[in-house]
Structure 1
Amino acid sequence: MSAEWTGVLINGLIVIIYLMTLRSSHKMVKETKDMARETKISREESYRPEVIAYFREENGLLYFTIKNNGTRPAFNIHLFIEKFFSNNHLEGDMKFFKVVRGSIRDVEKEIKLLAPNQSIEAFFGINREFQQRDQRGGLIAECPIEISYYNYEGDFYKENYNLTLRDFFKEGDVYIPTEGKLLVEEVAAIREELRKR
């Protein structure tokens, strides 16, 4: 073999090695871009507001809570609850909810800002009373809720799920009244009496 052919073979091998290196570099760049995109998406998902509404029980009393569990503030929060539970202590409390026009049981609430871990809460009622009404068939213990809100950058979020009271109902529950519970029951009885008048 002549020196020219040897040079051509060596140059050809160098070109092939160079092309293989370029191909693997291109593959690594593509994988790096994909990883960066996935990291960005997971960061955005974890670094966002997350507004939820739920019931909290304390000493047999139920509280309705709206809370931002996220790591960023939530803006322009709009809460809509279809066919909200009847005969609760929020009923007629237009400071907390307002009734949607053209409906009887649909309520909504607007909140301008909820900081991370900030919550708004209102007394909802006595758990035992709701459980007794549910056993008699006079309570719809579940209703759909829709929460929409924005983050600081203007990204829109929307959550849909069902609120339920049955999670707090206990089988064979023994009721031992305390002074606080007795006071709440007395206030509820006075309210009921005033409504009848």
Structure 2
Amino acid sequence: MNHILDIKTSGKPLNQAQKALIMIHGRGGSAQDILSLSRHLNVDDYALLAPQATNGTWYPYSFIVPTEQNEPWLSSAIENIQETVKTVLDAGIKAENIYFFGFSQGACLTLEFLARNAQRYGGAAVIIGGLIGDKINRGNYKGDFAQTPIFIGTSDPDFHVPVERVYATANILREMNAEVTEKVYANFGHSINQEEIELANSIVFVN
């Protein structure tokens, strides 16, 4: 499947920044939408990059259907993140200074990418997401996060993301040596709240 990498940027120019934040939008969202959230985060001196999904969606079905139903789009989406990371690395920014923010479908995709490519990153904040597949395929996930801080916020219940998957995801990331903080909000709904932004800033985007 041909995929076209379309990265929107904001913040500091990549060649002048010490840190980069990769932001992954949700289904029906856009790179511009998720970039606009950055003004609430402590990322004033970061380069900001947000890949844009074709037609606003990374893969067609729920993240908890059998993975093959979401192919080839899922593999293409993961490749998009991989290439966005490579763009940052090629600019001379080290992996430990690369940060991630994902919401909803973008949170699932961010977590899936990170777990398949674990190493020391700057950190990640993901709101309403979990590892992808009808069952979690632990064999897909390897590496050592070396204490990378990861914040996961979610609502219980959430129409798209069962809270059990959030807990299972957090446990796998911990097994892989990530410093995971998860926070579950009762009946909050499918959106981002102020406390999640504050926690992301105090746990992940700590300058």
Query: How high is the TM-score relative to the length of structure 2?
Result: 0.23
As a proportion of its length, which structure holds more strand? 1
Query: How high is the TM-score relative to the length of structure 1?
Result: 0.23
